[in-house]
Amino acid sequence: MKVAIAGAGWGGLTAAVEATRAGHDVVVFEAARTLGGRARALKHTMPGGAPLLLDNGQHILIGAYAETLRLMREVGVQPDDALLRLPLTLRFPDGTGLACPDWPAPFDGLAGILGARGWTWRDKFSLLRGAASWQRAQFRCAPAQTVSGLCAGLTPRVMAELIEPLCASALNTAAAVASGEVFLRVIQDSLLGPRGGSNLLLPRIDLGELFPVPAATWLAARGTAVRLGSRVQTLLREGSRWRVEGESFSEAFDAVVLACPSWEAARLVRQMDIAEASAWLARVDGLAFEAITTVYATSATRLARPMLALRSGPGAPAQFVFDRRHFSPAGGAVLAFVVSVSQGERETIERQVLDQGRAQLGIHDLQALQTVVEKRATFACTPGLRRPDQAIAPGLGGLLACGEYVAGPYPGTIEGAVRSGVAAAAALSAWTPPLPAEQAALAQTRSEPV
């Protein structure tokens, strides 16, 4: 088939790679001049004038991201070279907190809990008891259950030092309103999956080079076009095909994958006024979004670890800080403070984070370098949320949605986007487009007995 993919983020490029491997004729349209969508590289300049590549947010992967790691290898990126792998560690600047050894599951988690510094035996046993109950329930709970409700038996210290920051980073939704069902899926795949599933994977290279740029190179080598600066403005239905139109192009395709953000996909679908798409549009309209802020700052002080947890609360919004010197030597003397479920004005958040860093890290030469606010970084992963389906108008076929917001087991993460791209490509290969009327008639004639 001839397939159009609107969007060159991680989900769209994954769909393009998989569809190209399946033998389809693919064209990727991307409105921006850069690849990667909401996980991309940004050009910046250090105070002395040296060029610097930062990301639009300090992203982190985990070992359980099996599809993401597979796709990286597919396009020629070796994860062992591109990512710094660390056992799960949530240690605070004072040395307290949880650190898991590099052991097979579940022994790594068990050892991490039993050896957690600063935790009482009551704290540790409350978490062990809770984890055992989740395992007995096969990591399932009522759809309406929140993470806070799921963890009601845990002590305040375990909630504050493990569950709440873990929930904020994995689901980008506060534990009080986050989906317990999705949280359990992440816990199951990471802490109780194959060895290394709970490992933290920190990018040694910028996000563009981690997958989007190599994917585009891989596609170009196989004749698949990735057109940057080409925004899809209109989508039209022409018989059994779809016409994709922009300022400088108008082409017909057998199938279309909308791998752009949900609001942009909804704009294109709404223009067509397709009755079969009303339910899909209603679910898109029901999505709420959460922001993530990353404050990049310079400091001559090097942290003892690549990543430290921070005590967050009113006036101290960051949950984690990363010292890029440990995993990205070309990145300069830069610390990245991450604020999940970010609220407030950029200037206020930046000031609060710098004060928080000086107080909790004891670093007094912190200077803001760049603050990146991704206002609609992820959807709010709330209990019972009915996310849009992959098929936008099931009665028509050939029109699919792709992205981390599409219905699936994972929250709004890179792995969620990649899995959605894999599923979209599989749906394309499983679908048979209708033949034009003349070809259908000829096929019918050939099938009749002589």
Residue 445 confidence class, pLDDT cut points 50, 70, 90: very low
Segment 210-232 mean pLDDT: 97
Cα angle at 234 between 228 and 239, to 5 degrees? Answer: 120
Per-residue pLDDT reduced to its tens digit, 398-437: 999 999 999 998 899 999 999 999 999 999 999 877 755 5
Share of the chain above pLDDT 90, in %: 80
Per-residue pLDDT of 236-247, as tens digits, reads 999 889 999 999
Mean pLDDT over 53-70 rounds to 90
- How confident is residue 212, by pLDDT bands cut at 50, 70 and 90? very high
Residue in the structure block whose two tokens are 């560690």 = 89
Average pLDDT over residues 94-109: 91
- Give the number of other CB atoms < 10 A from CB of residue 326: 18
Asked whether the beta carbons of 203 and 406 are under 8 A apart, the reply is no
- pLDDT tens digit sequence for 272-329: 989 999 999 999 999 999 999 999 999 999 999 999 999 999 999 999 999 999 988 7
Predicted confidence (pLDDT) at residue 198 exceeds the cutoff of 70: yes
Q: Which domains does the chain have, with CATH numbers?
A: 2-38+207-287+383-430 (3.50.50.60), 88-198 (no CATH), 289-379 (3.90.660.20)
Rounded mean pLDDT, 91-109:
91
Q: What is the pLDDT of residue 192?
A: 73
Q: What spatial distance separates the first Cα and last Cα of the chain, rounded to whole Å?
A: 31
pLDDT score at 401: 98
pLDDT of residue 332: 72
Query: In whole angstroms, what is the distance from residue 301 CA to residue 357 CA?
Result: 12
pLDDT of residue 70: 97
In this prediction, residue 331 has a pLDDT band, given cuts at 50, 70 and 90, of low
